[in-house]
Structure 1
Amino acid sequence: MIPSSPPRSGKDGRQTTGSVLSPSVASAPSTRHLRPGLVAQALEHLFLPSIAAWFAFPQRFDRAVAQLAQDGGRAVSPRQAAAYFGGSLFLEIDPRNLTHRLDEKYVDDDGWHWIGESFLDAGDWQDRLPLLQRSPAHREIVEICRTRENFRDGGRYRTYLRQIGDGKPPRRNGQTIDTVDKLDAYFRYYADLIDNIERTGILPRNRFQRATNTGRQPRRARSFWQDFVERDIGVAIDKDGRLVRHTSGKHRLAAAIGLGLDKVPVEIRMVHLGWLQAEMQKRRLPASKALAAALAERGAG
């Protein structure tokens, strides 16, 4: 199997996704350290996936798919998959077609799990695909699309301001917003970002990082490392072949929808085993070749 951080194991020792329970089962602070640190992400972002993808990737990918079909669970590093499948994982789509999201963390009988380090997943997503509109981040960005520099008039701003006054400051982008100055910086950053997206559209990430006019980007709203490891809007392919938002890009996607854009670049970050198995059967190809063919067909469409 392709090296990746090991998924949690069930009580019988097998990899499992388990049944979905209410997030209240586990305390919220336990979710903060599920994601790899920003330095670890940066190192892998630079070179590790390309090195790993040199060594018999298709054979290891096919074996991983066979094992998942038998045991369930998750497998394959997304960055190794990106290094091997390359540009075929990048698409341009109508953002309005993304109506649901697959969260990168979920809770079951064994506690909280982070799935952002896996490219293949054999779990049951039925109860793990909430509407984008239920996301606080999505709602606040769509609101800023309407209010812009008058963001203080928006309901989300007033809610956060009240939370600060009550001594229960919100956490956004991994930082505690406990002063009015920080709150203003946070909303002003996204008002600038929205203005920029309205002028230029959403650029593929390698171009966006070099763009000279991406707003003021106050460091109180977002750290350097967050900008460095940021990627294109992430999507996953569910068992029925539908694209759903997954991992990074939630603010940019919300801005695109709020602005009414008809095209955004996205990166396929995860595929469901059920969809891949259907492609294998339809095309009579092993997993790696079936996926490559299906991705090429999507890109051409």
Structure 2
Amino acid sequence: MERKLSARAENERLEALIEGSSAEEVAYERLISGWLPRLLGVTARFLEQPQHRDAVCRDTLLLAWRNLPGRDRHLSASVWLLGILGSRLYSQLLALHGSPQAVRYRLASMPAGDTATVETPTGPRPVQLSGAWLATLVEQVPPIAPSRTLDVELQELIKAEIEQRHAPKTPSGERVYPPLYDPALRFRMLRSRTGYRLKESFKRRLGRPVEDKLFERWLNGKPGGGLLETHGLPRRSVEAYFNGRLDLDIDPNQLSQGLSFPDSFPNRTQRRKVSNIFIWPGDWDLVTADLSRSQRQRFVQDIWDHRLDLTTSNSYAELTEKLEQGRPLRSHHHGIVLDSEARILIYLSRYRLYMEDMSCFGFKADLGKDKLGIAIDRNGHLVKINKGLHRLAMAQTLGIRRATVRIRSIHQLWWEQHKGNAKGRGALERAIDVVTRT
């Protein structure tokens, strides 16, 4: 009875912490002090090695911290937090035992039956790893005090998360991650960001108004509109017109082919042009690549396959080899310098944690700067283009069931076939209606 009252009190404190959290370090410390021993106690029922328990609980608290603003209000705070723990536990058990069947066998000795499941972004998982089931278990197991090493590691992680909010921006406007940033990058980042902002400002203040005006004339069938269609229609104006209707909810594994702009559009002038238009002419769709063989797919799969120890991954070996050769990975576009083995490990760990987040919460369409971009080829098939390729690789590696993509372009031949005799607004509505219905 006393333990149940304590659990209820802890849940109430967690609710108060989450509701009143200003996402500052003191709130995170309260989250750690109130729940880390309890999480460690739960993980001890599933994992024998302390280092595995520490890894699961560390990631759980960091994922909870990052997702506080968007948490599911239909769940109690403790069920929500323990649901994150369950997802992270499942990932760890999969890595340790090799398959979902082996995990189910491992859990078969626990109550609730070995066939009961709950739905998750990657499909059914054992009910013993659900937030509701773990919320019952947490009342039955004794808490375990965290090690000093785990405490220090968590403090360093949250310090980096908080510092990132005020860190310098990359050229495209994202904040750098302080543990990977080198002040020597600042000048090149600033120069590139200035150029990027000037270009975007020109588009917004001059280019877009002109495009929108011409597009409006084309929509309404006014004189001169036909020429705009011949030139491909301004992509940004088309996207603004549809206001989200170009977004499709699909199985990520539907995307098997990807586009290389240099291969499909060898001419640089043409390459710059197609990035701004919606209807693409030519044979660009005849030159596509198998996404499963892409460098990004290999990179992401390598990280996931070696998530228990990233120092055994091919990516770690390649990056440390560059470091030893005196040419560490350096990118002012991303604000990173991997000039130590510790930084390499942090860099790879961030990708791994993004995947843990996706495995738990599903594909977040608004996480990146741009939505996953696709093109419709001459046969109506979906082809991945150059936005969100790492996120797509993660979704496919994890087996995420649904992801949101945005139609960025359609082939001219497909357009001509499906618009029929319609013009302007009618042609656009008819063509997009075909896409969204299929």
Alpha-carbon shift at residue 261 of structure 1 (Å): 1.2
> What secondary structure does 2:384 align onto?
strand
Aligned to 2:380: 241
String of CA shifts for 1:151-189, please: whole Å, max 9, x gaps.
222112212221232234446684564423442232122
1:294, 1:135 → 2: CA distance? 31
Aligned to 1:261: 400
1:53–1:84 Cα contact (<8 Å) kept = no
Aligned to 1:196: 357
In structure 1, list runs of 5 or more residues that go unmatched.
1-35, 69-74, 209-226
Name the amino acid aligned to 1:88.
Answer: R
In structure 2, list runs of 5 or more residues that go unmatched.
1-193, 220-224
> What secondary structure does 1:268 align onto?
strand
Alpha-carbon shift at residue 99 of structure 1 (Å): 0.7
Residue 39 (structure 1) aligned with residue 201 (structure 2): no
Higher fraction of strand: 1
Aligned to 2:104: none
2:218–2:226 Cα contact (<8 Å) kept = yes
Aligned to 1:136: 295
1:280–1:287 Cα contact (<8 Å) kept = no
> Taking every aligned residue pair, what percent have the same amino acid on both sides?
23
Aligned to 1:90: 247
Residue 250 (structure 1) aligned with residue 411 (structure 2): no
CA spacing shift, 1:248–1:66, aligned 2, 3 Å: closer
Q: How does 1:1-301 map to 2 (within 5 A)?
A: 38-40=196-198, 43=201, 51=209, 54-60=212-218, 63-64=226-227, 66-68=229-231, 75-106=232-263, 108=266, 113-114=271-272, 115-126=274-285, 128-170=287-329, 174-175=333-334, 177-179=337-339, 180-205=341-366, 208=367, 230-281=369-420, 284-286=421-423, 288-301=425-438
1:53, 1:171 → 2: CA distance? 38
1:50, 1:142 → 2: CA distance? 40
Alpha-carbon shift at residue 130 of structure 1 (Å): 1.2
CA spacing shift, 1:258–1:239, aligned 2, 3 Å: same
2:434, 2:412 → 1: CA distance? 18
1:248, 1:110 → 2: CA distance? 19
Name the amino acid aligned to 1:137.
Answer: R
2:382, 2:332 → 1: CA distance? 25
Aligned to 2:123: none
1:87, 1:111 → 2: CA distance? 29
Name the amino acid aligned to 2:284.
Answer: W
Aligned to 2:44: none
CA spacing shift, 1:66–1:294, aligned 2, 3 Å: closer
Name the amino acid aligned to 2:396.
Answer: I
Alpha-carbon shift at residue 81 of structure 1 (Å): 1.8
Alpha-carbon shift at residue 232 of structure 1 (Å): 1.1
Alpha-carbon shift at residue 87 of structure 1 (Å): 1.8
String of CA shifts for 1:73-99, please: whole Å, max 9, x gaps.
xx4443222111222210011110101
Higher fraction of helix: 2
Alpha-carbon shift at residue 194 of structure 1 (Å): 0.5
Q: Which has the larger radius of gyration?
A: 2
2:218–2:424 Cα contact (<8 Å) kept = no
2:235–2:277 Cα contact (<8 Å) kept = yes
Q: Could you tell which deviates more after superposition, 250-259 or 286-295?
A: 286-295
2:310–2:316 Cα contact (<8 Å) kept = yes
> What secondary structure does 1:88 align onto?
coil
String of CA shifts for 1:41-62, please: whole Å, max 9, x gaps.
7658978787456525254475
> What secondary structure does 2:407 align onto?
strand
CA spacing shift, 1:200–1:80, aligned 2, 3 Å: same
1:268, 1:247 → 2: CA distance? 12
2:262–2:271 Cα contact (<8 Å) kept = yes
CA spacing shift, 1:293–1:110, aligned 2, 3 Å: closer
CA spacing shift, 1:147–1:99, aligned 2, 3 Å: same
> What secondary structure does 2:244 align onto?
helix
2:390, 2:277 → 1: CA distance? 22
CA spacing shift, 1:290–1:97, aligned 2, 3 Å: same
RMSD over aligned Cα atoms? 3.5
> What secondary structure does 1:244 align onto?
strand
> What secondary structure does 1:84 align onto?
helix
More contact order relative to length (CA 8 Å, sep ≥ 6): 1
Alpha-carbon shift at residue 112 of structure 1 (Å): 9.0
